[in-house]
Structure 1
Amino acid sequence: MQINVKGHQVEVTTSLHDYAVSKFERVTRHFDHLNELAIVLGIEKLLHKAEATLLLSGKKLHADATATDMYAAIDALVDKVDVQVRKHKEKLTDHHADAVRAARYS
């Protein structure tokens, strides 16, 4: 998975970059088929804003989060993206396992 961290009118320090990348490694534990992740960090008035766009196989997910601290915004963003990825993975899962087992082993 390719992770791009950019700043919108904000300089992304190495500590912010490393923190974002390490936090988003949690998302890859749930779903392996992530192609690309773009993270944009910015400041709007007094709030720190973090946005993420995930490119999955044939699907694009987007989430954003705001907080008074950039690290807290990244944490909130990771939580939102994690929920979206788990929901997407659940939609891909076949829930008719009993019918499949019956057809396969009869």
Structure 2
Amino acid sequence: MNLTVTGLNLDVTEALREYVSTKLARISRHADNIISTTVTLSTVEKGQHKVEADVHLAGKDLHVETVEVDMYAAIDVLMDKLDRMVLKHKEKNTDYRTTPSGRETIVEAE
């Protein structure tokens, strides 16, 4: 998985980069088909921090954003939203049928 962390009007420290990567480890447990992730950290107004994430999965692109007072709280809320979206995408793609006709095939021995 390729991870890109950028900052708009904000210097991205090593601590922020490490915090984002540890939080994304939880997301990668649920979806093994993550191709790339781009996280953008920015300041909107005084005291407001905005975090956006673009996740490129096999067959789907997810975009999540959140605004909070604290940067670390914004990252936590973003990862919770992203986790729910990835699980929802995974449930939609699960094929519950055993065979295309929907019933089991029985092979008779002669």
Q: TM-score, normalised by structure 1?
A: 0.91
C-alpha distance in 1 between matches for 2:6 and 2:75: 13
C-alpha distance in 1 between matches for 2:6 and 2:27: 19
After superposition, where does 1:1-16 map in structure 2 within 5 Å?
A: 1-16=1-16
Match for residue 43 of structure 1?
A: 43
CA RMSD of aligned residues (A): 1.8
Q: Secondary structure at the match of 2:103?
A: helix
Matched-pair identity in %: 39
C-alpha distance in 1 between matches for 2:49 and 2:87: 26
Match for residue 62 of structure 2?
A: 61
Between structure 1 and structure 2, the one with the greater Rg is: 2
C-alpha distance in 2 between matches for 1:11 and 1:74: 15
After superposition, where does 1:50-89 map in structure 2 within 5 Å?
A: 50-89=51-90
Mapped pair 1:31 → 2:18: no
Q: Contact 2:98 / 2:104 at 8 angstroms: preserved in 1?
A: no
Q: CA deviation at 1:94?
A: 1.2
Q: CA deviation at 1:105?
A: 4.2
C-alpha distance in 2 between matches for 1:98 and 1:39: 40
Q: Secondary structure at the match of 1:90?
A: helix
C-alpha distance in 1 between matches for 2:106 and 2:79: 41
Q: CA deviation at 1:102?
A: 3.4
Gaps of at least 5 residues in structure 1 are none
Q: 1:104 to 1:39 in 2, by over 3 A?
A: farther
Gaps of at least 5 residues in structure 2 are none
Q: Secondary structure at the match of 2:35?
A: strand
Q: TM-score, normalised by structure 2?
A: 0.88
